[in-house]
Amino acid sequence: MKRKTLLLINPANQLRSGFHINRATRNQPLSLGIIAALTPPGWKIKIIDENFKEFRYYEADLVGLTAFTSTAPRAYEIAAIYRKKGVKTIMGGIHASMVPDESMQFVDVVVQGEAEPVWGQVIADFESGNLKKLYKSQFSKEIHQPKPRRDLFHPGYICAGVQTTRGCPMNCSFCSVSAFNGQHYRFRPVEEILDELEEVPQKFVFFIDDNIIGQSRESKEHARQLFEGIIRRGIKKYWLSQSSINFADDGDLLKLAYRSGCRMIFLGIEAETEDQLKEANKKLNLSRGAGSYNKVFKSIQKHGIGVIAGLIFGWDSDTRETIRARARFALKCGADSFQTSVLTPLPGTQLFEKTVAEKRLLYSNFPNDWQRYDYFEPTIEHPAIPAEMLDGHISEAIRQIYSPLNIISRNLKTLWNTRSITATWILTLNYWYYRNIFINGRYVNSRIKHKPANNS
């Protein structure tokens, strides 16, 4: 009997290149690798990954799509091609999970939430001709992921994605992690993660967790066991991840993090003043005060780990002056690198609810306008600054943060603070990658020309 084909698709934003602009900053479609691993052995599976290659039609019996909000329109566009031919389409991922009613108009089936508990049933129902419109999963306390089918990923990825925890109790106003992954830290068994790490071919690993050490005793203990396990098993990788500022609190944990390969950590700083931190509902940063940032960065750097600080522009309380002040803060706060974002109301966030209620969405021709919701342009009507002007102020701040002179001066400090190979990695990140993303990747159609999906 002919094997059935499951085609899995990772769509790319057709409007703007963003993080896609550099090969090194593209993220593997980990969820598709997990779906492939959960699919029974009788299926032939192929991944089309627009991070590397534009979609071209490929025969399939069943099509699965994942999407962020900004890539959802492209997912719908591709789904339409298959639906026209009578091929069933299934969509999961954060966007479909946050707005399932919208997604159900464009695909046959929506998987809302985590796929692991329901994917076996989806395939069984497809095979018996009983597919439902919606499969919804509950959060399980312990996460078990099969090893993703990394053999199906494009070989061009420099960094491998691995997940160790899910969920976050902090509920920041602009973030949909708590809605998507739950308000509690949930953990994968450490040995399961180590088994997976041993099979990762890349030297560089991105632990895609939203907070690798969390803020509870249990979550820190999980991180400690993970770092110790990496050292014990002799797994030689360099890794980066994301955390809150309490990453700096425990010197022993930082030593273990470095020894296990940590060379960079992303910290959600978001802003340097109380007004903006209140808007962000960034409780931990507020409780410690922006004055603590420099000490936080130094404590981490002295263990050889570089700090990437996340900064957001476009708060309601922002003015031209506060935006300029944030750029000045960036130049002297002591972080090694920055991810600069424009405040964006994504579905599933408190910010989205508020912006919709106040009728302040600048673009609402959905789903097409979702392409703009990628953190690179203002999508909220600001109370005091017209959008074009706001964009100009933000652009000016970003250019200052990423000017070659400021990058070099920052990097010399990184070399001094970390006295490790971290400085080379940070220089590459700042000069060749982030500078390109945050200056050039902001522009519409800078790399990708929008073309309708090719169905021939």
Nearer CB in complex with ligand SF4: 108/114: 114
Q: How far apart are CA 426 and CA 281, in angstroms?
A: 29
Residues 6+ apart with CB under 8 A from 145: 34, 116, 163, 188, 192, 196
Q: Please name the residue that has the structure tokens 């312990």.
A: 142
| DSSP result, 109-172 | EEEES-STTTHHHHHHHHHTT---SEEE-PPPSB---PPP-GGGS-TT-SEEEE--EE--S---
Q: Is 448 in the site for ligand SF4 (CB under 6 A)?
A: no
Nearer CB in complex with ligand SF4: 6/177: 177
Q: Is 385 in the site for ligand SF4 (CB under 6 A)?
A: no
* Least spacing, CB of residue 297 vs ligand SF4, in Å: 17
Q: Is 171 in the site for ligand SF4 (CB under 6 A)?
A: yes
Binders of ligand SF4 in range 201-230 (CB under 6 A): 210-211
Indicate which single residue of 170, 256, 265, 296 sits in contact with ligand SF4 (rule: CB under 6 A).
170
Which of these ranges, 103-111, 173-181, 230-238, 343-351, lies near ligand SF4 under the rule CB under 6 A?
Answer: 173-181
Binders of ligand SF4 in range 224-283 (CB under 6 A): 244, 268
Residue 145, both tokens: 């992921």
Which of these ranges, 164-172, 253-261, 271-279, 447-455, lies near ligand SF4 under the rule CB under 6 A?
Answer: 164-172
Q: Is 168 in the site for ligand SF4 (CB under 6 A)?
A: yes
Which of these ranges, 167-175, 256-264, 286-294, 419-427, lies near ligand SF4 under the rule CB under 6 A?
Answer: 167-175
Nearer CB in complex with ligand SF4: 147/184: 184
* Least spacing, CB of residue 240 vs ligand SF4, in Å: 15
66: helix, coil or strand?
strand
Question: By the 8 A CB rule, do 182 and 113 touch?
Answer: no
**Quick one: which of 390, 382, 378 has its CA closest to 342?**
378
Residues 6+ apart with CB under 8 A from 239: 204, 205, 206, 207, 260, 261, 262, 263
Nearer CB in complex with ligand SF4: 202/244: 244
Q: What is the C-alpha end-to-end distance of the chain, expressed in Å?
A: 27
Nearer CB in complex with ligand SF4: 47/335: 335
Contacts with ligand SF4, residue ranges (CB under 6 A): 168, 170-172, 175, 177-178, 210-211, 244, 268
